[in-house]
Amino acid sequence: MRAIPRRLQPPSGVKLLPPEEILKNRSHDIILDANGAFTGRMYSITSEGLLPARGMSVRLLTDGGMAAQTTTDDTGLFTVTGLPQQADVGGIFASGPAGIVVYGVRMVPASPEFPADREIDVESAVVQVVDSPLAQQLIRGGIGTRDLRFNGPVTVEDNKFPYGEGPIATSIGHDSVQIAADGKVYGQVNLLDERTGRLREVLSMRVYFLHDGVEIGSARVAPNGAFSVPGLQPGIHALVGVGRDGVFAIGVEVLPFKAAAMNAANGFVPVRLMLTTEIAVAPVGAANINSENFGEFFDPAIAALAEPMGPAAAAAAAAPAAPGAAGVGGAGGGSGGGGGLLGPLLIGGAIGGIGGAIIAEGDPATPSK
């Protein structure tokens, strides 16, 4: 069995895995063009549709420091340029009037294997204002101390682990997930080794679903990266992950399960499922965000606003909508989820070209150049 630093032993019941058992079917890659640049867009999922997250301070974190900083414009767009033409693992952290968002990425220079052919490289849904205090409180309570795992020389064994591949992750290209037939929401946390960009086993992380400022579900992440949470209702949520392996926080819309749709001849045919039926996100590693530099990113005063709710209040907040209430349909049909708070903050038209609509496999997530 491979040795790991004594300071970060696996929790009881968690074991190290061989490389072939690590989930690797999602990509967290951002392709840099010839100028070392990429373009992104931040937005809020609200009951009124997708609204641009304007005025967000966006920071790109690498090697324990800030590689770039910029601000989203009135349409939620931002551009980072002048990055080195080399593969690197980092994190994106953004905060502003719309809320917060944080997740890990792997940056790769353009090549025939990795063409820079996306008009928008990153499209991310933020954690709404109503959920941001509790998200920060959870992160502050469980964040790791420095990088105690990927801080040594790369070994032959380290290079046997896989890179992520396949459809782009929820954090950089989608905003919705469908409840499975068994009533659970499934997902995977893809832990990026900050030295190699390869995916590693998860030793210490828990995920939390928040809705209207209340924690409504949580689960421990398995060593291969998998997790599942039962009992979630359709609507707009925040998904937060925290542990010694890193942190993330993204917005996501949970859609109801639909097994089939009626065709014109009154027969049943399979519905067009989303490109992905599970959430995938990479955390920002402890080398970039940890308990020692937490205050540089998160505002403790905001986190202090989160007051834990009792079981009765939490159950009421998570209860299904009353008959006749607005249902969930694409990005505009959420069950509220704080849209009333975000409306005054984000006055403007909904974003075109992206959304939580169910799409067929093979449909592009964004237009090509």
Task: Say if residue 144's pLDDT is above 90.
Answer: no
**369 is a domain residue:** no
pLDDT of 325 above 50 = no
Please report whether residue 58 resides in a domain: yes
Provide the sign of the torsion angle of the four alpha carbons 79, 84, 88, 91, taken in this order: negative
Which of the given ranges, 293-302, 319-328, 343-352, has the highest pLDDT on average?
A: 293-302
**Does 118 reside within a domain?**
yes
Q: How far apart are CA 203 and CA 191, in angstroms?
A: 10
77 lies in a domain? yes
In this structure, the number of other CB atoms found within 10 A of the CB of residue 117 comes to: 11
In whole angstroms, give the CA distance from residue 336 to residue 338: 6
Question: pTM for the whole thing?
Answer: 0.77
Instruction: Give the C-alpha separation, 56 to 102, whole Å.
Output: 12
HEC sequence for 127-155: EECCCHHHHHHHHHHHCCCCCCCCCCCCC
Confirm if 99 and 251 have CB atoms less than 8 A apart: yes
**Domain residues for 301?**
20-258+271-306
CA distance 222 to 12: 12
Say whether pLDDT at 333 is over 80: no
Instruction: For residue 133, tell me if it sits in a domain.
Output: yes
Residue 126 identity: V
pLDDT of residue 345: 31
Instruction: With CA atoms as reference, report the closest residue to 126 among 100, 152, 159.
Output: 100
72-76 LR contacts (CB < 8 Å, sep 24+): 72/41, 72/42, 72/96, 74/348, 75/41, 75/351, 76/41, 76/42, 76/43, 76/52, 76/351
Residue type for position 290: N
The total domain count for the chain is: 1
Stretch among 268-282, 284-298, 299-313, 324-338 having the lowest mean pLDDT: 324-338
Cα separations in angstroms, 227 against 65, 208, 222: 30, 11, 6
Q: How many Cβ atoms are within 10 Å of 29's Cβ, its own excluded?
A: 19
Q: What is the mean pLDDT of the chain?
A: 78
Q: At 114, is the pLDDT very low, low, confident or very high (cuts 50, 70, 90)?
A: confident
Q: Which residue has the tokens 């790109």?
A: 60
In three state form, how does the secondary structure of 71-91 look?
A: ECCCCCEEEECCCCCCCEEEE
- For residue 148, the model assigns a pLDDT of 72
Query: How confident is the model over 226-246, as a mean pLDDT?
Result: 96
Q: What is the pLDDT of residue 152?
A: 87
**More confident call, 145 vs 36:** 36
pLDDT score recorded for residue 363: 27
**Among candidate residues 160, 232, 239, the one with its CA nearest the CA of residue 206:** 239
- What b/e readout covers 255-277, taking b as 16+ CB neighbours within 10 angstroms? beeeeeeeeeeeeeeeeeebbbe
pLDDT at 16: 79
For residue 348, being part of any structural domain is answered with no
- Which pLDDT score is estimated for 218? 97
Question: Would you call 362 exposed, middle or buried from its count of C-beta atoms within 10 A (0-12, 13-18, 19+)?
Answer: exposed
101-110 confidence digits (pLDDT tens)? 999 999 999 9
Q: Does the pLDDT at position 280 exceed 50?
A: yes
Residue 95 lies in a domain: yes
CB 303 within 8 A of CB 137: yes
Q: What is the pLDDT of residue 3?
A: 42
Mean pLDDT of 161-177: 91
Residue 85 belongs to some domain of the structure: yes
Between 298 and 3, whose confidence is greater? 298
**Tens of pLDDT along 291-318?**
888 888 876 656 555 554 434 333 443 3
Alpha helix locations (H) across 197-282?
A: none
